[in-house]
Amino acid sequence: MTVAAIIQCTAADLVNSRDPNDYVIGKCLEAGFIDEIVIACPDDLGAVSLEKAAETWGVQIYKGSDMNVASRLLGAAQMVSAKIIVRLLLRQFYLDVEQVERMVALLKAKQADYIDLPPDYNYALAADVGTVQALSKAVAQIEDIEDDRKRSSMQFSPWVYVEEHPNEFKLKSIDGGPAYGRARVDGIRSKYARLIGENQTHFKWNYPASSYGFMGKYLAKTDAVLDIASGKGQGVRRLKEYCAHAVGVDLTPDHIDIANRENGHIDGIEYEEGNAETYVRPNHFDAIVSLHTLEHLPNPDAFFECSLINLKPSGKLLLEVPLLLQHPLNMPLMPWHHKEYGLQELVDAVLKHGFHIDEVWGKKRHAFVAIEYASGLVTSSHGRLTAGIIIAHKPDQEGCA
């Protein structure tokens, strides 16, 4: 029963090093239970650099759809006639090989379709372990989803679809193993900082399942919108589809230069250098969008205070923040994250600064999940949530919603 490590990646996942131990490649080469190693990348210009890397490492490569990751993974697995897929990411140099080997063994022993990890387990440390037959079934069913955003999100994260359909697939749960010691955690985080630096997303501005697209439904065509910590500006480009004026503010001058070069010519788009904890444009914005910013800030209170100043009365705060998956690190994997929150903890932080919360959502990787919320409390749980989304607004005047 051929076990294939299918490594989902793009050329942007390459760092300066080509040492296989600086990638998940090194772990795969050492793992005795893995029969085939395949890099599964988009069929685009970036594939050339990945082809050279694959040749250096002595592994195979499969080029497929950019955004339909599910079909790309399936094609890579079928190329090597695999029966079991171990889905990995290229940068997972920290892969817990013992945990993944236990998952593969359980899949075989129980003749399962997929192995489910505990809700508090940081899945970045392990892998998606399932059968190629189950993935093929999921790919076909996902194609039939009518809603564009949901279909796109499941095509990007097909294992979430499998997890959410236990009547369609045979799932087996596994424990997360022992917690890591502090020395092991520090070693992973130190190497992560050395190799990768600050994290940047690489989605195209018009990616259908984008969180910016999700936030767009809360905007009006006449709105002035701030994207705080806007990175290289692709999110601002997407927000402009929903509003009159979109402003991107980022701390890194190079990011502002790239954003202006790529999108600065578009009417209604503006970029400027600024800090999320100090940027002030009083009563100017109808909405502030903040995606994966709060966890980077040494002083998140200052961010909320500036947001209140910058918003018009009744202006919206649209916030997405990664949630802490506690086990086995007991802290964030990414060393530049000052803090990752629990969902209720995030709700409390927003309320503490005087905002009124209208909706609470969660994310399972790229899939959006509605959360039951009432009177300041999250009242429902949906398993492993990787991010929390808060839709809130500034009161009309002090004490009035």
Report the CATH number that the domain containing residue 107 is assigned in CATH.
3.90.550.10
Average pLDDT estimate for 252-271: 95
Compare 205 and 361 and report the one with higher pLDDT. Answer: 361
Looking at 135, 153, 177, the residue that finishes a domain is 177
199 within a domain of the structure (yes/no): no
- The confidence score (pLDDT) of residue 202 equals 59
Query: How many residues appear in the chain?
Result: 401
183 within a domain of the structure (yes/no): no
Looking at 177, 199, 219, the residue that finishes a domain is 177
DSSP states of 207-251: -TT-HHHHHHTT--TT-EEEEES-TTSHHHHHHTTTSSEEEEEES
Residue 200's pLDDT band (boundaries 50, 70, 90)?
A: low
Looking at 177, 203, 237, the residue that finishes a domain is 177
The reply to whether 228 and 370 lie within a common domain is yes
The reply to whether 382 and 249 lie within a common domain is yes
- Round the average pLDDT of the chain to a whole number and report it: 94
328 within a domain of the structure (yes/no): yes
Check pLDDT > 70 for residue 300: yes
267 within a domain of the structure (yes/no): yes
Average pLDDT estimate for 247-273: 96
The reply to whether 58 and 109 lie within a common domain is yes
The reply to whether 115 and 240 lie within a common domain is no
The reply to whether 217 and 116 lie within a common domain is no
The reply to whether 145 and 293 lie within a common domain is no
The reply to whether 143 and 216 lie within a common domain is no
Q: What is the pTM of this model?
A: 0.93
Domain hosting residue 343, numbered range: 211-393
- The model's pLDDT over 80-109, given as tens digits with 9 standing for 90+, comes to 999 999 999 999 999 999 999 999 999 999
The reply to whether 241 and 351 lie within a common domain is yes
320 within a domain of the structure (yes/no): yes
- The model's pLDDT over 49-77, given as tens digits with 9 standing for 90+, comes to 999 999 999 999 999 999 999 999 999 99
Compare 383 and 188 and report the one with higher pLDDT. Answer: 188
65 within a domain of the structure (yes/no): yes
For residues 395 and 328, the answer to whether their CB atoms sit within 8 Å is no
202 within a domain of the structure (yes/no): no
For residues 29 and 7, the answer to whether their CB atoms sit within 8 Å is no
Residue with tokens 């092991």: 184
Beta bridge partners of 55: none
Residue ranges of alpha helices (H) inside 157-310 are 158-163, 182-195, 211-216, 234-239, 253-263, 300-310
The reply to whether 47 and 161 lie within a common domain is yes
389 within a domain of the structure (yes/no): yes
Check pLDDT > 90 for residue 31: yes
The reply to whether 308 and 378 lie within a common domain is yes
Other CB atoms within a 10 A radius of the CB of residue 265 amount to: 8
- The model's pLDDT over 223-250, given as tens digits with 9 standing for 90+, comes to 999 999 999 999 999 999 999 999 999 9
* Structural domains in the chain (count): 2
- The confidence score (pLDDT) of residue 207 equals 80
Report the CATH number that the domain containing residue 334 is assigned in CATH.
3.40.50.150
Closest by CA position to 47, among listed 89, 11, 90: 11
Residue 40's pLDDT band (boundaries 50, 70, 90)?
A: very high
The reply to whether 136 and 232 lie within a common domain is no
The reply to whether 216 and 154 lie within a common domain is no
